[in-house]
Structure 1
């Protein structure tokens, strides 16, 4: 059973291809399950489409959902098309997001922290002129937000939990073992999964999210793992899935999971 739960398409403004393109790419890659999980609109912003190169307009979410559900029916028997979505975690807007997303029949919601102190985690300029203590404070806040996102109960999967290293590989060298362990403990207790996300290979850090060290500690805390390529073009669907499965087996994981109708389904690691 091969699956990829994290894919985007043209509506977010920074990905290529239609949803159908990703479904067809999933079939070509030998997947049994393909999850479509484009970025939510910015529900907490007054504008209809606050950031057109980051996320879809508010009015587009209905079209998005209808298209995925239509393709789900069309491709039944060929590949299982799941309706997912990737949601930012904004504590100040959490209840608005919770109520809005609950109105739709998502199979799963991926919760991702994309900004800390109002600055994108991928903005490498944010680290300029920061001393070591300031860098540690930023990293600690990042993992505090991730832990809070798990506590919120809004998400089945947490997205790319060390993606802050994406355009700043030195992020890995900033001490934060206690904060990471606390986040993993909370995630395990909340029975939320984390994804292994291979889009790190498209960033300066290379590799995937999270690091092997975090995965080893996640296993210790009983955290479930899932898989997502975070594909922003169809050719990346299922990227490195086999290598990830092999590494998880080496670390000691026996299974990984996906979600359908918000129910967790375990798949043995081969």
Structure 2
């Protein structure tokens, strides 16, 4: 059974197409389940959209939910449309995010760390001039935020947990094995899934998030895994699903999961 839980659309300001386009692409790709999971608005400031082309505006949020729920009904029996959302994690704004997200009937919420020290994880310039020790500190800070997100109770899925390598492939070689293991243990303890996200191919790093070494450790610690293309254009819906399934089986996984009504559903590989 094929599924894809991570898709975007025009409301976030940096994706193409509308929600129906992604659902139709899911049907064409043979998906049984598609999750719509655009970026939440930024709830840490009062402006409607303080960061255009990064996240949807607050005024668009209710309409987003309404449209997904309407399409869920329309496509019932053809493809299971799930109401998801991708939420940033900012420790200082946890209350605002939690209170807002709890007002809506999400099937799942993806928690993603997109910035460390108020700088985007994808900003390759953040690494310029840093010493080895400073790079290690940055990587450890990234995984500390991911651990905090796992403990927050807000998320069913954690998104692209090594995406900091996206525009800085050398990130993978920065030593932080203990931080990664602690993060995976925390994720397992809280029953959260991590996604295998195939959008890394659109960045300098290429490949998937996370890499095989992290997936092997995730299996060791009993972390559940799920699939997300992180499609920002309909043509990428379900992208490399079969390849990911095959690689997970080679690593030793026997199942993966998706979430409906925030309940984990297991699917054999």
Which residue matches 1:58? Answer: 58
Q: Does 1:167 align with 2:167?
A: yes
Q: CA deviation at 1:95?
A: 1.3
How far apart in 1 are the matches of 2:49 and 2:2?
35
Which residue matches 1:49? Answer: 49
Q: For residues 22-61 of structure 1, what are the alpha-carbon distances to aligned partners after superposition, in whole Å with 9 as ceiling and x for unaligned?
A: 0000000000000000000001112111111001100111
Which residue matches 1:245? Answer: 245
Which residue matches 1:255? Answer: 255
Structure 1: unaligned runs, 5 residues or longer: none
How far apart in 2 are the matches of 1:178 and 1:77?
46
Q: CA deviation at 1:241?
A: 0.5
TM, length-normalised to structure 2: 1.00
Alignment of 1:171-250 (within 5 A): 171-250=171-250
Q: For residues 245-264 of structure 1, what are the alpha-carbon distances to aligned partners after superposition, in whole Å with 9 as ceiling and x for unaligned?
A: 00000011110000000000
Which residue matches 2:18? Answer: 18
Which residue matches 1:95? Answer: 95
How far apart in 1 are the matches of 2:157 and 2:186?
13
Q: Does 1:85 align with 2:82?
A: no
Structure 2: unaligned runs, 5 residues or longer: none
How far apart in 1 are the matches of 2:37 and 2:132?
36
Q: Does 1:134 align with 2:134?
A: yes
TM, length-normalised to structure 1: 0.99
Q: For residues 195-247 of structure 1, what are the alpha-carbon distances to aligned partners after superposition, in whole Å with 9 as ceiling and x for unaligned?
A: 00000000000000000000000001100000000000000000000000000
RMSD of equivalent CA atoms:
0.4
Which residue matches 2:105? Answer: 105
Please identify runs of 4+ aligned residues in structure 1 that moved more than 4 A. Answer: none
